[in-house]
Amino acid sequence: MSERHEIVELTDTVSLGFLATDLVLAMGRRLRDEELTDGDLAVMHGGHDLLQRLGQPQPSLMPVVGPRFLTSDAVDVEVFRAARAQEPDEPVKAVIGRMASLLDRAIAGSLEPSDAEAAGQVRTLFMHLGEITLSRADELLTNPHREQSTWTDPAPTSTS
Amino acid sequence: MDGSGTHIDFLVASLDRSVAELRRGVDSLDAVPDLQGTSFPTYVRISIDGVAGRANDLVEEARRTADPVDHASIATQLRRLHQLVSVLHRQAGLGMGLKTESIGLGIVYFVKEAADAIVRGDSQLIIRPDTEHTYSSLGQHRVFKSVFNSVRVQPPQGPVPVLIQYPWAERQSVAVHALFLHELGHEAAQRDGLTDEVWARHPDLPGLDRRFADAIEQIVAGHTAAGRSISSEEVETSLRTQLDQWVEELLCDAIATAYAGPSYLLAFVAFLGSSDHDVWTISHPAFADRVHYTLELADELGWAAVLDGKLGEIMQWIRSLAVLSVPAANDHRGSFVKSVIDELSPGIRGIAREQVGSSVFTPAAYGSAADEVEQLVRDGIPPVQLATKHAVGRREMFLGAWLGKLGHSGASPDLVPNVAGDMTLQALHGQALELSFLLEDWARP
């Protein structure tokens, strides 16, 4: 991995971590029916957009719409990892999609009492994501890793 | 006070200490008289202020809430602020290593001139030697965007620092320094979202997405058949990473070629030609593929006649290197990536030409000075001034140095690295670069 890729991955990971943990705090306020600040709502929108993009059932190479800093592929991996750890027996994109819908309702202030458990799960997901990104950033700060040099495909690497 | 409160207090006190140390370190840069990139300490200082501000907000929040999850989250955010201080420490350290320019002034002016043409918006270039034997850019625009977002501060007014590194031992290898242009391409690509623009020009994005899904399925099946477990999301993410990185690399090659013409190709071959031509990594296409696409743009810009005419045997050899590698039949990943890159290549060339705009270097622009510059090089005279009394342009100088030395019958491929390694020529070239800027400056009314 080049120095540039490494520093970009590091700062994107830290940035995602801030978002994730801020979202835990904002969701806590929402669940306690406290007034949300503009900052809380911005964080919830950021989390929602991220989950909505990653929860799309069909993979896409279309250009990403929205702020680029949260679209790093390294960041995507962390979100998938956190969701899979939380619901290991369910397709990960379905878990993420469900949480995006819940966040949408939380932003609109239309959570029902029956949503309490699911809202707690969203909070747990972002808490877990906050912890994963903290460890990952530590790893990048202390042990810069080498780049994978060949395909991960089982086929032999090809030469012309 | 309970345990979590004490823990938060400790994290805050520790953060205060780190922030104060870093602030003192950055302030010491003010005393450096010949510091490159004065915008750099400003960027770090604003980030440090943001870290301190966020720490204060978190302390306030800890006082307001009794929720243990909130307290754990606040402690996590404080630890993350510590990480950000470490990141800033690293970035500031890069700035502090730059007290003097160890590279020739002519090259510094050349890179600044090229940055004005390639990178949109105001930039402040910082050029520094690196211990790695490679050229690199450190993506400060992208890095600080992320940092500022994390600590909720606005970027400062004024130029954005652009940090580019060169291999320290190559300080005097002027011909090879055309590779700086590739690094400027990275800055342009990241600042202007150029890879997204390349994707948007694919002729059939919905069809491409269907093929993307098929490729993921085939790759996962291949792993499963080999007894390895991999999720479709992992494959999707790593394929997207690879494609994005390859597009950016090829775009940077194209931007450098659009700006400098064949001097970039020759510098690239001289610097990297001894590497394995068919080996790719997740971040970089194979050397052969990069030469292929670089030549494609050079030919599109009309350089084929000049190059094939003046560098017969050398160009035959370079063209023989530029054969795209063909993935094995069962290499689903390789087949998909390479086919997509080929489909995107017209868009890559188009975006590169648009980015460089009116500064694209063409054979017509070179033609008027070509014979004179090449003859001066052959005579061992710094090609600074034309018979018209005008200063020789920098791109003309770069290309003239190559063609003046390589453009004779019997010139063979081994002369390419020999020219790059001819220190008498490189000194002449470096001197000419510097003098041509001076001449232009004197000629200004």
pLDDT, tens digit, 9 for 90 and up, residues B275-331: 888 888 888 999 999 999 999 999 999 999 999 999 999 999 999 999 888 888 888
**Model ipTM value:** 0.86
Bridge partners, B167 (sequence order): B130
The tens digit of pLDDT for each residue in B95-151 reads 665 555 578 889 999 999 999 999 998 888 888 888 889 999 987 888 898 899 999
Range A95-109 average pLDDT: 95
Share of chain A above pLDDT 90, in %: 56
Torsion of CA B246, B247, B251, B253, to 10 degrees: 20
A39 occurs within a structural domain: yes
A117 occurs within a structural domain: yes
Q: What is the distance between the alpha carbons of residues B196 and B245, in angstroms, rounded to a whole number?
A: 12
pTM: 0.90
Strands B123-130 and B136-137 turn out to be: unpaired
Share of chain B above pLDDT 90, in %: 72
Which residue's entry shows tokens 């592929």?
Answer: A73
Q: b vs e for A98-136, b when ≥16 Cβ sit within 10 Å of the residue's Cβ?
A: bbbebbeebbeeebeeebeebbebbbebbbbbbbbbbeb
pLDDT of residue A151: 40
The whole-angstrom distance between A100's CA and the closest CA on chain B is 17
What phi, psi does B400 have (nearest 5°)?
A: -60, -35
Of A32, A138, A151, the CB nearest to B83: A138
Length of chain B: 445
Q: Out of B5-14, B74-83, B93-102, which region has the weakest mean confidence (pLDDT)?
A: B93-102
Which residue's entry shows tokens 């700060």?
Answer: A141
pLDDT of residue B126: 86
Share of chain B above pLDDT 70, in %: 96
A148 occurs within a structural domain: no
Of B69, B80, B199, the CB nearest to A61: B199
pLDDT of residue B443: 84
Q: B169 touching A, CB under 8 A?
A: no
Q: Is the pLDDT of residue A157 over 50?
A: no
Q: Is the pLDDT of residue B93 over 60?
A: yes
Q: Is the pLDDT of residue B202 over 80?
A: yes
How do the domains of chain B map onto residue ranges?
3-171, 194-358, 363-443
Q: Collapse the DSSP code of B126 into the 3-class scheme (helix H, G, I; strand E, B; otherwise coil) and give the result.
A: strand
Contacts B147 to A, Cβ<8 Å: 11, 14-15
pLDDT of residue A68: 45
The pLDDT mean for chain A works out to 83
Range B186-215 average pLDDT: 94
Q: What is the distance between the alpha carbons of residues B159 and B37, in angstroms, rounded to a whole number?
A: 9
| Domain count across chain A | 1
Cβ-defined contact of A14 to B327 (cutoff 8 Å): no
pLDDT of residue B324: 85
CA distances from B387 to B159, B372, B392, B445 (A): 38, 8, 10, 20
A150 occurs within a structural domain: no
Confidence label for B38 from pLDDT (cuts 50, 70 and 90): confident
Strands B160-167 and B123-130 turn out to be: parallel
Q: What is the distance between the alpha carbons of residues A25 and A32, in angstroms, rounded to a whole number?
A: 11
pLDDT of residue B1: 42
Q: Is the pLDDT of residue A152 over 80?
A: no
Q: Is the pLDDT of residue B37 over 70?
A: no
| Residue ranges making up the domain that contains A8 | 3-58+68-142
Cβ-defined contact of A3 to B132 (cutoff 8 Å): yes
- Nearest-by-CA chain A residue for B217: A59
The whole-angstrom distance between A137's CA and the closest CA on chain B is 7
What phi, psi does B414 have (nearest 5°)?
A: -65, -15
Confidence label for B4 from pLDDT (cuts 50, 70 and 90): low
Range B76-101 average pLDDT: 82
Q: Is the pLDDT of residue B16 over 90?
A: yes
Q: Which two tokens stand for residue B204?
A: 């059939």
Range B373-393 average pLDDT: 94
Q: Out of A93-107, B97-111, B261-275, B328-342, which region has the weakest mean confidence (pLDDT)?
A: B97-111
What phi, psi does B382 have (nearest 5°)?
A: -60, 125
Q: B221 touching A, CB under 8 A?
A: no
Of B136, B222, B340, the CB nearest to A4: B136
Q: Is the pLDDT of residue B347 over 90?
A: yes
Confidence label for B36 from pLDDT (cuts 50, 70 and 90): low
Q: What is the distance between the alpha carbons of residues B94 and B83, in angstroms, rounded to a whole number?
A: 17
Q: Is the pLDDT of residue A156 over 60?
A: no
Confidence label for B192 from pLDDT (cuts 50, 70 and 90): very high
Task: Pick from A19, A64, A65, A152 the residue to mutate for testing the B interface (most B CBs within 10 Å).
Answer: A152
Cβ-defined contact of A25 to B87 (cutoff 8 Å): no
A147 occurs within a structural domain: no
Q: Is the pLDDT of residue B158 over 80?
A: yes
Q: B288 touching A, CB under 8 A?
A: yes
Neighbours of B275 (CB within 10 A): 10
- Nearest-by-CA chain A residue for B335: A158
The whole-angstrom distance between A78's CA and the closest CA on chain B is 10
